[in-house]
Structure 1
Amino acid sequence: MFNKNCLNKIPKMKNINHIYFIGIGGSGMGGIATILAKQGYKISGSDISNNFIIKKLNLLNIKIYLKHDAKNITNNIDLVVISTAIKKNNPELITAKNLNIIIISRAQMLTELMRFSYGITITGTHGKTTTTAMIYTIFKLAMLDPTFINGGILKDSKEFAYLGSSKYFIAEADESDRSFLYLNPIINIITNIENEHLDFYKNSIEVLKKIFLQFLKKIPFYGCIIVCIDNINNYNLIKKNKNILKQNIITYGFHKNADLQLYNYQQNNYKSRFFLLEKKKKRSLEINLNIPGYHNALNATAAFAISSYIGLNHVMIIKFLKKFVGIKRRFDILGFLFPYNKKIYKKDIIIIDDYGHHPTEIDITIKTARQIWKNRKLIMVFQPHRYSRTKNLLNEFIKILSKVDKLFILNVFSAGENFIKNANSEYLAQKIKKLGIIIPILIQSNNNYTIIQNIYSKLKGNEILIFQGAGDINNISSLFMNKKFRIEKNQINNKY
């Protein structure tokens, strides 16, 4: 007899049982692996770091090797999924090719997971992760039970992926290497478009915008595009192509022409409040958040827009937005410490961990911290991420990083890139010093304990200490908070 419940089941991939992930420890890769494991596939993989995501995957009985080794790839593997960080000379990738195993990218695997769902994607240079998490929080609290894959970890539930039972599939879509073009969502949000990952776009913002337009054209005519028009590139993209794009378009922002216009933003310590004018419905709503910053007001508005679009009540949406408490490593307050010489300096230090690695993101972090703690000195420990980004955005980095009261610069986290002469940490420090606003302290050690000793010995109290970057700088901030170090004066070294 025909079973109606079968209509809601995602068909299993034929002849695919064992799936291997090269680079499984990334949040996007780990999220996909989590969903597939819960769908019943045999999952294994490799990574070079034993991070939080690896530990979560271990709880699902996923076999993970903490080394890329050709021996890990065996004949019983049906499919290999690779992250964008994997190089062509990776021994596991080479072996998989020699064994004629099917090899696909992370984005291609995500596409297959979303194929039979109501796909909702969030794109843009900044704000994707937080916006994605906000939408998931609203949908889950509204009992919609969505599937969810994100690039960050929710602070309250510790989730970065979840297999739901409903038609909704919410995912952060990565534009960094054009891989989001594989996806076919019904609704897409664009938070902003800026000069980032241009090495995949012929070093041209115009090419980047064209690819975004190409992606938007893939949204079905009955779908929806939600776009922040505070960003000039977003604004021009929609204005120029409004006759080409046949989908529903909802604009949001502080911009006077936005369909959902934010106004009267206020910040009270770590909380924020703003008003939202829904022009079509001719009503104004008050929204309160338990996270700070103009950028998060915009992220919340995007989440409001999509939740309202699918039919959720505005009172419910506002209530659930207030319950959102943030993402790990996104202006993440880790705690408080007293300075090294507590007898002299009696006021504490607030420790913050932030993933931002683009000048715009760092500027937002600085502004947000200044708004909350007006009477504290702002100290930043910055780890540049990629030589190419440092080179392409050097002048912006010099300008933005000079806004703090004290700056420590660590070695560049290369992310596998080759060294570029005038894009390393020493060159960046020299340029900032030459500007004449602050004198940066360059720490060229790769020993985390030495780095901590350099930083901690120079803290005086009544300060905000922000660990800033997308590499492995969070390992340093974790050690810092755990106090797994001791200061020895003869080990303190600094370049400037």
Structure 2
Amino acid sequence: MAPGLPTAMDRPHFIGIGGAGMSGIAKILAQRGARVAGSDAKDSATAEALRALGATVHLGHAAAHLADDASCVVVSSAIRPDNPELVRAAELGIPVVHRSDALAALMTGLRPIAVAGTHGKTTTTSMLAVALSELGLKPSYAIGGDLDAPGSNALHGEGEIFVAEADESDRSFHTYAPEVAIVLNVELDHHANYASMDEIYESFETFAGKIVPGGTLVIAADHEGARELTRRLAGSVRTVTYGEAADADVRILSVVPQGLTSEVTVVMDGTELTFTVSVPGRHYAHNAVAALAAGAALGVPAAELAPALAAYTGVKRRLQLKGEAAGVQVIDSYAHHPTEMTADLEAMRGAVGDARILVVFQPHLFSRTQELGKEMGQALALADASVVLDIYPAREDPIPGVTSDLIIEAARSAGADVTPLHDKAEVPEVIAGMAKPGDLVLTMGAGDVTDLGPRILDRLSK
């Protein structure tokens, strides 16, 4: 039976409660019986889901939103020090808890699996949550995206397993003490917080060092960054590697595309297993094998977990089909790092063959564009044509000289057909002028580009 409610969090107030990570923790606390409150910049389906669980969700940020008897205020690294609710918390002497500490408290007394890596965390965490649920193990989970099924980013389950996405962006994943940790890949990203690959490796080493005694690190054998991390750890933790490399402990023998699914065959402990992954692309197949290895490390029989992984049908914004109009499919992709962009475009190419792929790309963060703009442009060369929007700033202030032009110039140098567009409202009309029956349109990025899918479909249908 899962533990109950941490007493210090019986009346939490979340600043930015609608965010993917924050809302998940708020949902679990509400499901455990806490009196949850919080605020967010705008209303959303997430806010409405929280209200349905009994939470109070205020719109906008104001000191008056914070109740005097709140037991703690939960924040993420994105909350600025001058936030009026944070200032009010200091005045009232209410403890401020980082999101990662709140999540760590929820995992106390359970058997946590923490999923880390530069890319693929949400998908892999989701695959585990769905497969373990399919087997009747009733896991708790906290994910950075909404599942297609069972339709939420978080759940308080009655079982002993807790599956959590472990975010390296601000080093907050150092808070967790998992029984099993997954490292999918290790690359340079989050340039505002990491100045070099050495800092990235040190951060992941610290994360691996938090695995409980007798626990297991599941780590990729095919990514050089992950292999380097394995070398640096030098046997300090029990390690299970997975991938197509000949020396992988869980070796992938084949990934056979079958339309928008794949058939995956692995050898594990001398036994060959073949199972279906219900989303396209080699990288999603690798994520599924990571999930398989992690579940097995926790004692779930691989022969049962492998077929259960087929129950995973996707996460919102991870190659999510938004619809079809005038013979044109529109799919939404969260990819915002060049590696992710390349993987999703290759997955789509494998799935649709000779059909044209049109991309609407919105760069995410000035710092990421400054460091990786050239590589983003090169990735877009895999599409038949692209529309590139202005940079979505998220939590960042502009950096002089850093614009989408860095990506556009690199894309054109790589031979890509690119159309710059500053007004997002013009996208549906522009795409309608470009798209032909049989084409695939991919809205791509971690910002509000996701809102364009329905608008493009609406325009195409006219």
Taking structure 1 as the reference length, the TM-score comes to: 0.89
Q: Whole-Å Cα distance in 1 between the matches of residues 30 and 80 of structure 2?
A: 25
% of aligned pairs identical?
Answer: 30
Residue 249, structure 1, aligned to residue 239, structure 2:
yes
Residue 472, structure 1, aligned to residue 460, structure 2:
no
CA contact (8 A) 2:134 2:311 kept: no
Aligned to 1:310: 298
Residue 105, structure 1, aligned to residue 98, structure 2:
yes
Aligned to 1:357: 336
**Amino acid aligned to 2:432:** Y
Residue 445, structure 1, aligned to residue 431, structure 2:
no
Q: Against the structure 1 CA distance between its residues 70 and 364, is the aligned structure 2 distance closer, same or farther, given a 3 Å change threshold?
A: same
1:431 deviates by 4.0
CA contact (8 A) 2:384 2:417 kept: no
Q: Against the structure 1 CA distance between its residues 304 and 20, is the aligned structure 2 distance closer, same or farther, given a 3 Å change threshold?
A: same
3-state SS of the aligned residue for 1:199? coil
Q: Whole-Å Cα distance in 1 between the matches of residues 108 and 79 of structure 2?
A: 25
Residue 55, structure 1, aligned to residue 48, structure 2:
yes
1:26 deviates by 1.2
Q: Out of 390, 414, 430, which is 1:454 matched to?
A: 430
Q: Against the structure 1 CA distance between its residues 9 and 321, is the aligned structure 2 distance closer, same or farther, given a 3 Å change threshold?
A: closer
Structure with larger Rg:
1
Give runs of aligned pairs for residues 67-466 of structure 1, distance below 5 A.
67-201=60-194, 203-243=195-235, 245=236, 247-278=237-268, 281-338=269-326, 348-433=327-412, 435=413, 437-446=415-424, 448=425, 450-466=426-442
**Amino acid aligned to 2:174:** L
Structure 2 unmatched runs, 5+: none
Q: Deviations over 1:81-134 (max 9, x none)?
A: 012221122222122122221111100101111122111100001111111111
Aligned to 1:492: none
Q: Against the structure 1 CA distance between its residues 285 and 16, is the aligned structure 2 distance closer, same or farther, given a 3 Å change threshold?
A: closer
Q: Against the structure 1 CA distance between its residues 63 and 205, is the aligned structure 2 distance closer, same or farther, given a 3 Å change threshold?
A: same
Taking structure 2 as the reference length, the TM-score comes to: 0.96
**Amino acid aligned to 2:200:** L
Q: Against the structure 1 CA distance between its residues 9 and 144, is the aligned structure 2 distance closer, same or farther, given a 3 Å change threshold?
A: closer
CA contact (8 A) 1:354 1:466 kept: yes
**Amino acid aligned to 2:305:** I
Q: Whole-Å Cα distance in 2 between the matches of residues 379 and 119 of structure 1?
A: 40
3-state SS of the aligned residue for 2:186? coil
Residue 33, structure 1, aligned to residue 21, structure 2:
no
3-state SS of the aligned residue for 1:452? helix
**Amino acid aligned to 1:238:** T
CA contact (8 A) 1:44 1:62 kept: yes
State how many pairs are aligned: 462
3-state SS of the aligned residue for 2:219? strand
1:11 deviates by 5.4
Q: Against the structure 1 CA distance between its residues 112 and 16, is the aligned structure 2 distance closer, same or farther, given a 3 Å change threshold?
A: closer
Q: Against the structure 1 CA distance between its residues 101 and 453, is the aligned structure 2 distance closer, same or farther, given a 3 Å change threshold?
A: same
CA contact (8 A) 1:334 1:353 kept: yes
Q: Whole-Å Cα distance in 1 between the matches of residues 23 and 99 of structure 2?
A: 10
Q: Whole-Å Cα distance in 1 between the matches of residues 271 and 7 of structure 2?
A: 51
Structure 1 unmatched runs, 5+: 1-7, 339-347, 488-496
**Amino acid aligned to 1:177:** D
CA contact (8 A) 1:429 1:440 kept: yes
3-state SS of the aligned residue for 1:421? coil
CA contact (8 A) 1:331 1:365 kept: yes
**Amino acid aligned to 2:65:** N
Q: Whole-Å Cα distance in 1 between the matches of residues 176 and 452 of structure 2?
A: 36
Q: Whole-Å Cα distance in 1 between the matches of residues 9 and 138 of structure 2?
A: 26
Q: Whole-Å Cα distance in 1 between the matches of residues 349 and 10 of structure 2?
A: 52
